[in-house]
């Protein structure tokens, strides 16, 4: 039978190899408001139609010569159509057959001959359920899309904010900017070696770029001093931790929040003798513990106005001596393991600023 091709939107697909059965079904379907039957005696043709058209309900006979009702249902569901209700019509009453059909995706059964009142009632309920399900899916999809858009915008905003802060640090003091870049790359290498997730490593690498942001408020006389800091000057320099923490306070996006933790805790020591809070061990945020090692290595191997840069071997020796005291042994181990990579980074981001 050729499919009915009128333009009524709600189609009910009916598949039965017996033409007279289809004639009766078409009449029964006509009793459901705003629907019309699209009938096929060939299950293969019906499958083809179902793949190209939308329908609100599928009625399929079980016993057909080319494709059984169960196989038909399997193929419809296999093509990703999980929401169109399917009623299987069968003269069989075997429980096993019905269980199998349910497993394959049938929504309900009706026995032959179909009672028109029961059929119309069932069909209307199933069509309503389909509508509600599609509505729910659409709402969920829209909510997900909105969330994705909002999240994307948030990440873009966060990245933009971070880049701005990095630029400000560079403009205020290029030497600190270079140091922050090196520390971020060192920390990334160490964290990767430690087996942190890709997301964590990325967050750490970004957040560490502004770990010394507190130096923005450091007085020039201290920031640019060409001799060793003494007494009150050292205390003033330490204040960069509190100032940086205050600058980033209230920022809750992942990278900037992580940056806040690093800024606040990267001068803590593993044994609890650091500053500002004398945190110890795991009480110190992990990112800050990693940055502490990277920061020390960068500082030791950089020239200062009052001293030459330490050699790599001496810097490594000092850091290893602090294992279990200033630094977490696990991080020192990873630091040692990635030394070739750290040396490459150091060559790529040297301390190029001329010391005054």
Partner 1 sequence: MGDTPVLEISRLEEIFEDDTAGIADLLEAAMGTGAANQATLRDALGRRALDEVMRAAHAIKGSTANIGGNEVAAAAAIIENAARAQTWDGIEPAAIELDEAYERLRAAVRAYRAGIT
Residue among 346, 331, 206 at smallest CA distance from 269: 331
Report the interhelical angle of 286-300 vs 312-321 (nearest 10°).
140
**Binding region for partner 1 (CB under 8 A) out of 22-30, 198-206, 240-248, 260-268:** 22-30
CB of 68 to partner 1, least distance (A): 12
CB of 104 to partner 1, least distance (A): 21
Q: What is the CA radius of gyration of the chain?
A: 35
Q: Is 63 near partner 1 (CB under 8 A)?
A: yes
Task: Please write down the HEC assignment for all residues of 278-328.
Answer: CCCHHHCCHHHHHHHHHHHHHHHCCCECCECCCCHHHHHHHHHHCECCCEC
Round to whole Å and give the CA distance between 15 and 19.
Answer: 10
Which positions from 78 to 97 touch partner 1 by CB under 8 A, shown as an x/- string?
A: -------------x------
Site for partner 1 in 101-140 (CB under 8 A): 112-117
Q: At which residue do the structure tokens 């429980």 appear?
A: 95
CB of 28 to partner 1, least distance (A): 6
CB of 91 to partner 1, least distance (A): 5
Which positions from 211 to 250 touch partner 1 by CB under 8 A, shown as an x/- string?
A: ----------------------------------------
CB of 103 to partner 1, least distance (A): 22
Triad 218, 177, 300: Cα angle to 5°: 85
Residue number with CB closer to partner 1 (92 or 304): 92
Residue among 255, 253, 258, 219 at smallest CA distance from 235: 219
Paired strand residues for 353: none
Site for partner 1 in 32-61 (CB under 8 A): 61
Q: Is 18 near partner 1 (CB under 8 A)?
A: yes
Residues that bind partner 1 (CB under 8 A): 18-21, 23-24, 27-28, 31, 61, 63, 91, 112-117
């Amino acid at each position: 039978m050729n499919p009915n091709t009128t333009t009524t939107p709600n189609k009910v697909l009916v598949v039965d190899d017996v033409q007279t059965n289809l004639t009766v079904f078409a009449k029964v379907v006509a009793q459901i408001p705003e629907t019309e039957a699209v009938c096929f005696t060939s299950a293969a043709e019906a499958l083809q139609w179902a793949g190209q058209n939308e329908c609100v309900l599928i009625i399929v006979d079980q016993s057909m010569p080319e494709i059984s009702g169960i196989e038909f249902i399997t193929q419809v569901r296999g093509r990703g159509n999980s929401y169109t209700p399917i009623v299987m019509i069968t003269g069989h009453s075997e429980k096993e057959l019905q269980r199998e059909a349910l497993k394959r995706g049938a929504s309900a059964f009706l026995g032959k001959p179909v009672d028109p009142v029961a059929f119309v009632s069932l069909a209307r309920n199933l069509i309503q359920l389909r509508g509600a399900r599609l509505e729910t899916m659409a709402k969920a999809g829209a909510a997900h899309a909105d969330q994705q858009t909002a999240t994307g915008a948030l990440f873009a905003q966060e990245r933009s904010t971070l880049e701005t802060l990095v630029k400000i640090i560079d403009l205020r003091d290029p030497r600190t900017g270079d140091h922050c870049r090196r520390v971020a790359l060192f920390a990334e290498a160490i964290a990767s070696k430690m087996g942190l997730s890709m997301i964590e490593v990325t967050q750490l690498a970004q957040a560490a770029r502004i770990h010394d942001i507190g130096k923005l408020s450091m007085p020039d006389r201290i920031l640019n001093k060409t001799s060793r800091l003494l007494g009150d000057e050292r205390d003033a320099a330490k204040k960069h931790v509190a100032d940086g923490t205050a600058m980033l306070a209230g920022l809750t996006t992942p990278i900037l929040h992580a940056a806040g933790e690093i800024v606040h805790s990267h001068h803590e020591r593993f044994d609890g003798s650091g500053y500002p809070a004398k945190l110890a061990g795991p009480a110190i945020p992990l990112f800050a513990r990693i940055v502490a090692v990277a920061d020390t290595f960068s500082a030791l191997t950089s020239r200062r106005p009052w001293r030459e840069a330490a050699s790599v071997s001496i810097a490594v020796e000092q850091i290893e001596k602090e294992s279990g005291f200033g630094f977490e042994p696990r991080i020192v181990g990873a630091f040692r393991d990635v030394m070739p990579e750290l040396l490459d980074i150091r060559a790529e981001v040297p301390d190029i600023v001329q010391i005054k």
